[in-house]
Amino acid sequence: MSAADPGSPETPAAPEGTRPSPNIWHHTETYEVENRAFDPDGLVEAAIASVLPGSSWAGLDVLDLGCGTGFHLPRFATTAGSVVGVEPHADLRAIAARRTRRLPHVRVVEGTAQSVPLPDASVDLVHSRWAYFFGPGSEPGLAEVARLLRPGGVHVVVDNDASRSTFGSWFARGFPEVATPAEKQAYWESAGYARVPVLTRWSFGSREDLEAVVSIELPGPVAGEVLADLPAGTLEVDYAVDVLWRRT
């Protein structure tokens, strides 16, 4: 879910510091299919909750940084005190706002990881999922997160682990230029983040959906090879992620 293609066209209206996100920008409906297929057992959500005081975000002020179409906002909103989605892309922001229009304690605002229009020490949990604007070189964004978090607040980053699982091996084949798992881990360790490894899965309703999602996540030739090798009838793909987290 973090198939950044640095060669893709930028959206002219996107603010400075926005990283091209061709999967969700150009294939928004397929990305929704992907979000629905990912982690059907809620293992990632459980890992996030496990690093929070009281193992829950109930009552907390939550910021979803790089919220895209706001897929995760309603879930946080079930128990959070308030939820803010920050997203640089105007069209995605509009979808996120529409998705949450009946939730009075949810807001969607323009911003980037490097510049969030919220006051200092106003948030308890910052969630960043498939946020390739975080990782090696993202110090300005991490400093902004530190500014936003109250004492005891937690930043959680959900990222691919390309060192293991079927999807991880596909990702490593598709994006050899991206930082290696060892480089990423060293970066997060030096920034003071701990790691919870999670082995979850994609679970699709149809082969058509699986093929569409693989095709937006991997470069064409690699997607073609992967799909050609995948036995007919396969609807499940094991998928390793890292939940990286730091308490202020």
> Segment near ligand SAM (CB under 6 A), from 106-114, 194-202, 209-217, 239-247?
106-114
Smallest distance, ligand SAM to C-beta of residue 128, A: 7
> Residue 47: enclosing H or E segment and its boundaries?
helix 43-50
Smallest distance, ligand SAM to C-beta of residue 68, A: 3
- H-only helix segments in 78-230: 90-99, 139-148, 166-174, 181-190, 207-217, 220-229
Task: Give the list of residues 6+ apart from residue 101 with CB closer than 8 angstroms, or none.
Answer: none
> Segment near ligand SAM (CB under 6 A), from 84-92, 100-108, 172-180, 237-245?
84-92
Question: How many Cβ atoms sit within 10 Å of the Cβ of residue 73?
Answer: 25
**Contacts by 217-220 with C-beta closer than 8 Å and gap 24+?**
217/1, 217/3, 217/23, 217/34, 217/170, 217/171, 217/174, 218/3, 218/170, 218/171, 218/173, 218/174, 219/5, 219/174, 219/175
Residue with smaller CB distance to ligand SAM, 22 or 121: 22
Q: Which of 24, 84, 222, 240 binds ligand SAM (CB under 6 A)?
A: 24
Q: Which of 57, 76, 130, 202 binds ligand SAM (CB under 6 A)?
A: 130
Residue with smaller CB distance to ligand SAM, 17 or 136: 17
> Segment near ligand SAM (CB under 6 A), from 51-59, 129-137, 187-195, 226-234?
129-137
**112 is a contact residue toward ligand SAM (CB under 6 A):** yes
Residue with smaller CB distance to ligand SAM, 82 or 114: 114
**159 is a contact residue toward ligand SAM (CB under 6 A):** no
Buried/exposed 155-186: b ≥16 CB within 10 Å, e otherwise: bbbbbbbbbebbbbebbbebbeebbebeebbe
Only one residue has tokens 């895209």, namely 68
**239 is a contact residue toward ligand SAM (CB under 6 A):** no
Q: Which of 30, 35, 160, 200 binds ligand SAM (CB under 6 A)?
A: 35
> Segment near ligand SAM (CB under 6 A), from 63-71, 73-81, 175-183, 213-221?
63-71
**89 is a contact residue toward ligand SAM (CB under 6 A):** yes
Task: Give the list of residues 6+ apart from residue 85 with CB closer than 8 angstroms, or none.
Answer: 63, 64, 67, 70, 73, 93, 96, 100, 106, 107, 108, 109
**134 is a contact residue toward ligand SAM (CB under 6 A):** no
Residue with smaller CB distance to ligand SAM, 134 or 193: 134
Q: Are 69 and 93 in contact (CB under 8 A)?
A: no
Binding site for ligand SAM (CB under 6 A): 1-2, 17-19, 21, 23-24, 35, 65-68, 71-72, 87-89, 92, 112-114, 129-131, 133
